[in-house]
Structure 1
């Protein structure tokens, strides 16, 4: 059984992502581990010689009480979607979010991470900013990223971007495994620029190797890589876009001002980020 880590702050963004996490758990026959982290403030105990421990105890208790109040709401969502049979467990951890995600991945033997983000500016902070951006750069298991605008719908088409590197094949096989479980198609995109060094022979070998799989390959000649990917999402009706994180700079380029408006209207689908060594 696959184990899915779902970090949550119980916000609207996280609650929307929770629906995706439930449905994904159903697809991969997995279980959910819900993680809520909080950071206690740093006090200088010379100023709190007597009630230092009391302050921390009260802060930890308030977090625990909030945790107890929010978990039943998530269980209700699962019941409403007839997914209450999916196994769920919970972790409440003090400390840095990324540190605790990595700790949970190791201790709980996690296979996937699912997190949420919001809006065009949310994507920027998500990939480049604090918690989730750091997570994508530092986590070596697949991570499904859910924007607030992405309401769950049946997965019929999964996009996969590649440069036809040998190490991309492992990620593609992971995506194909997910696609088969939901009867989805995979549409694989390579944007061939003037500087591309991928030979036609390499592309032909990939097409031959995956001939029996539910996959189509698209090679588009363009020096406008980011715009081409965004158009591909729109015109090929991609439900989830898979991106490989060996080139983090790609994400940085996505958030230049010229792309913000277009992203706000079109870039509202989940991204499955897969780390490539």
Structure 2
């Protein structure tokens, strides 16, 4: 993990995420790519040749002044940080930056969403979680020292999950964390304990670098609540899962379970795109 991208809007949640990114960068001798997408008026993003240049310069000046205050904070001392201010729409700018810098991890702050906002508006964080070609770590709350002792990786343990499981193992091993492999049993997708255990054991049998781990089968009404309740019960430091990009989540992660967890979990969530 040598390149960490952190998009910021200078909000409280973005600072929470930056502190986590700084902790990870310090542990891995990594570079943080700190990026702000200007919230420009539509005519400045449209390619209109009659641009109000003073207005554009003002937005740019404000962004750099905010970066100066950000960079002066003690928790960033000694860390290599590259700053960019761009005028793309936020989602497009972030996805382009992931490929341009060959990013290993995206760290994003989020306040979550509920009700109509969650249903109709969504957020850039949700879009990035759904589509990013790099793992995405979402931070909701202030964390003074980001360490992971107990990492829950929730899955249906189908064959396609193996494509991202190695990434989850690497992340767990980087913290010497215990990996809790979680299968959530629900009434409408019930399987016996024996079948679930057999499926999980077959899934992990060829992963030689799998360190300290446990298998768990947890019963709940819904997959999302099962993940949240189990993670609360063991006081997990991190929840991980896979995503299937724009096509939603197949098998275990039916519909938008990753986005729901990003919205509703107070614990950090990391997603890995298949």
TM-score range, shorter chain: 0.7 to 0.9
Pair member with larger Rg: 1
Q: CA deviation at 1:26?
A: 2.7
Q: CA deviation at 1:58?
A: 1.7
Alignment map for 1:178-189 (pairs within 5 Å): 178-189=171-182
- Find 1:173's aligned residue among 139, 161, 166: 166
1:235 aligns with 2:228: no
The alignment yields a C-alpha RMSD, in angstroms, of 3.0
Asked whether the 8 Å contact 2:239–2:269 carries over to 1, the reply is yes
Q: Equivalent residue of 1:167, what SS?
A: helix
Q: CA deviation at 1:191?
A: 0.9
1:110 aligns with 2:106: no
CA 1:252/1:42 → structure 2, altered by over 3 Å: closer, same or farther? closer
Matching residue of 2:252: none
Asked whether the 8 Å contact 1:126–1:132 carries over to 2, the reply is no
Quick one: distance in 2 between partners of 1:199 and 1:269?
Answer: 26
Is there any run of 5+ residues in structure 1 with no aligned partner, and where?
none
1:218 aligns with 2:216: yes
Q: TM-score, normalised by structure 1?
A: 0.80
Quick one: distance in 2 between partners of 1:136 and 1:72?
Answer: 29
Quick one: distance in 2 between partners of 1:42 and 1:227?
Answer: 40
Q: Equivalent residue of 1:269, what SS?
A: coil
Q: TM-score, normalised by structure 2?
A: 0.81
CA 1:215/1:134 → structure 2, altered by over 3 Å: closer, same or farther? same
Matching residue of 1:4: 4
Quick one: distance in 2 between partners of 1:120 and 1:43?
Answer: 29
Q: Equivalent residue of 2:114, what SS?
A: helix
Alignment map for 1:1-277 (pairs within 5 Å): 2-43=2-43, 52-53=50-51, 55=52, 57-77=53-73, 80-81=74-75, 83-119=76-112, 121=114, 125=118, 129-148=122-141, 152-194=145-187, 195-196=189-190, 200-210=197-207, 213-246=211-244, 247=249, 248-251=255-258, 263=264, 267-276=265-274
Quick one: distance in 2 between partners of 1:253 and 1:8?
Answer: 22
